[in-house]
């Protein structure tokens, strides 16, 4: 699978273009909060054969650009089922940060995914693992080599849980699950550089509770 990262918007969120090489079928993971991703995708020649949009969670920097993306690429959008309550607050999330200009319409959701679901992208099978805590339904999509974790895990850090609907106790359980995945998996986060499960398992200072268990 080919992976291209686009870092977009005021929040500098990492969005991802995934391409199944044998078939050319492509997916987008997260959207940014504006139409910047759409412009960058359309600047690629040829324009990728985008067949789906995968949302890791419903914060405005990850899902706020959904309407713009759907307007250009009318393809199915997937959202974790437990994320619906947060996703539906997109029209007021800018108010949470004192920036109403960031309020966004919700956009269309076609499929709701749950823990253990599989999504077929060409010849690539993407699995969904639910990792709530940062948000009620935050989750990750992964294959045999790569995992796209949204704001669950970062290089040397983890997602914050002090925003509305966050829960630190649930986040610890989710991190435990995530660290049980194969260590070689390359971790593509919503912000910051690529890392691996093994590296974070050994070095991430926010995961010492796991190493002491």
Exposed/middle/buried for residue 169 (C-beta within 10 Å: 0-12, 13-18, 19+):
exposed
In the prediction, which pLDDT does 213 show? 53
Per-residue pLDDT at 212: 62
**Kind and range of the H or E run holding 3:** strand 2-8
Separation CA 154–CA 165 (nearest Å): 20
The answer to whether 1 and 19 are in contact (CB under 8 A) is yes
Please count the CA atoms within 13 angstroms of the CA of 99 that sit on its side-chain side: 8
74 DSSP 8-state letter:
-
Identify the pLDDT of residue 209.
Answer: 78
Which pLDDT does position 120 carry in this prediction? 98
| Residue 82, C-beta contacts closer than 8 angstroms, at least 6 positions apart | 130, 132, 136, 137
pLDDT tens for the 213 residues of the chain, in order: 999 999 999 999 999 999 999 999 999 999 999 999 999 999 999 999 999 999 999 999 999 999 999 999 999 999 999 999 999 999 999 999 888 999 999 999 999 999 999 999 999 999 999 999 999 999 999 999 999 999 999 999 999 999 999 999 999 999 999 999 999 999 999 999 999 999 999 999 999 877 665
**Domains identified in the chain and CATH numbers:** 2-211 (3.60.15.10)
Give the integer Cα–Cα distance in Å for 39 and 97: 26
How far apart CA 147 and CA 30 sit, in angstroms, is 13
Peptide bond into 203 cis (omega under 30): no
What is the predicted pLDDT for the residue at 210? Answer: 79
Which three-class secondary structure state does DSSP give residue 96? helix
Please count the helices (runs of H) and the strands (runs of E) in the chain: 8, 14
In this prediction, residue 62 carries a pLDDT of: 97
């Amino acid at each position: 699978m080919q992976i291209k990262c686009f870092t977009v918007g005021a929040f500098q969120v990492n969005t991802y273009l995934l391409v199944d090489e044998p078939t050319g079928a492509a997916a987008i993971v997260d959207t940014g909060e504006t139409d910047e991703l759409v412009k960058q995708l359309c600047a690629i020649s040829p324009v990728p054969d985008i067949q789906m949009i995968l949302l890791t969670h419903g914060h405005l920097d990850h899902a706020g650009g959904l309407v713009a993306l759907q307007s250009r690429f009318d393809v199915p959008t997937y959202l974790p089922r437990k994320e619906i309550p947060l996703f539906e607050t997109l029209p007021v999330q800018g108010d949470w940060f004192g920036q109403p200009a960031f309020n966004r319409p919700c956009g269309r959701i076609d499929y709701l995914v749950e823990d253990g679901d599989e999504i077929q992208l060409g010849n690539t099978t993407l699995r969904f693992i639910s990792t709530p805590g940062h948000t009620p339904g935050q989750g990750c999509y992964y294959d045999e080599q790569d995992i796209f974790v949204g704001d669950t895990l970062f290089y040397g850090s983890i997602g914050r849980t002090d925003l509305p609907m966050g829960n630190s106790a649930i986040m610890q359980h989710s991190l435990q699950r995530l660290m049980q995945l194969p260590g070689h998996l390359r971790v593509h986060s919503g912000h910051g550089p690529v890392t691996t499960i093994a590296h974070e398992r050994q070095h991430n200072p926010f995961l010492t509770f796991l190493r002491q268990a």
